[in-house]
Amino acid sequence: MSDIPFKNPGWAGNTGEFNLSEEEVRGEDFVGTRPVHGGHASGAGTMPYMLAKKDPEGVLFEGEYRERLDKILSRYPTGQAALLPALGLCQEIRGYVSPESMDAVAEVLDLSPAYVRGVATFYTMYNKRPVGKHLVQVCTNISCNLAGADEVVDAFLTYTDTELGQTSEDGNFTVIEAECLAACGFPTCVQVNSRYFENVTPAEVPKICEHLKSERE
Q: What is the dihedral of CA 26, 166, 140, 136, to 10 degrees?
A: 10
Q: What average pLDDT does this structure show over 127-136?
A: 89
Instruction: Tell me what pLDDT residue 118 has.
Output: 96
**Helix %, strand %, coil % of the chain (to 5):** 40, 10, 50
DSSP 3: S
171: number of CA atoms within 13 Å, CB side?
8
Close Cβ partners of 21 (under 8 Å, ≥ 6 residues apart): 33
Evaluate whether residue 2 is within a structural domain.
Answer: no
Instruction: Tell me what pLDDT residue 5 has.
Output: 46
Evaluate whether residue 13 is within a structural domain.
Answer: no
Name residue 136's beta-bridge partners.
Answer: 175, 192
% of the chain residues with pLDDT over 90? 39
> pLDDT-based confidence at 39, cuts 50/70/90?
very low
- The region of weakest confidence among 3-17, 147-161, 166-180 is 3-17
pTM for the full predicted model: 0.67
Cα–Cα distance measured from residue 196 to residue 135, given in angstroms and rounded to the nearest whole number: 12
Q: What average pLDDT does this structure show over 159-166?
A: 93
Q: Of the candidates 100, 122, 144, which is a domain's last residue?
A: 122
Asked if 94 and 153 touch (Cβ cutoff 8 Å), the reply is no
- The region of weakest confidence among 40-54, 150-164, 199-213 is 40-54
- Same domain as 146, residue 100: no
- Same domain as 155, residue 90: no
Q: Of the candidates 76, 99, 122, which is a domain's last residue?
A: 122
152: Cα separation from own chain's centroid: 18
Does residue 9 carry a pLDDT above 80?
A: no
Evaluate whether residue 107 is within a structural domain.
Answer: yes
pLDDT tens digit sequence for 132-156: 888 999 999 999 999 999 999 999 9
Instruction: Identify the domain containing residue 191 by its residue range.
Output: 131-214
Number of domains composing the chain: 2
- For 192, the 3-state DSSP assignment is strand
> pLDDT-based confidence at 112, cuts 50/70/90?
very high
User: What rounded mean pLDDT belongs to the chain?
Assistant: 78
Evaluate whether residue 9 is within a structural domain.
Answer: no
Q: Of the candidates 99, 122, 145, which is a domain's last residue?
A: 122
Cα–Cα distance measured from residue 156 to residue 209, given in angstroms and rounded to the nearest whole number: 8
Asked if 116 and 102 touch (Cβ cutoff 8 Å), the reply is yes
Instruction: Tell me what pLDDT residue 214 has.
Output: 83
- Same domain as 195, residue 147: yes
Does residue 208 carry a pLDDT above 50?
A: yes
- Same domain as 160, residue 103: no
Q: What is the CATH number of the domain that holds 142?
A: 3.40.30.10
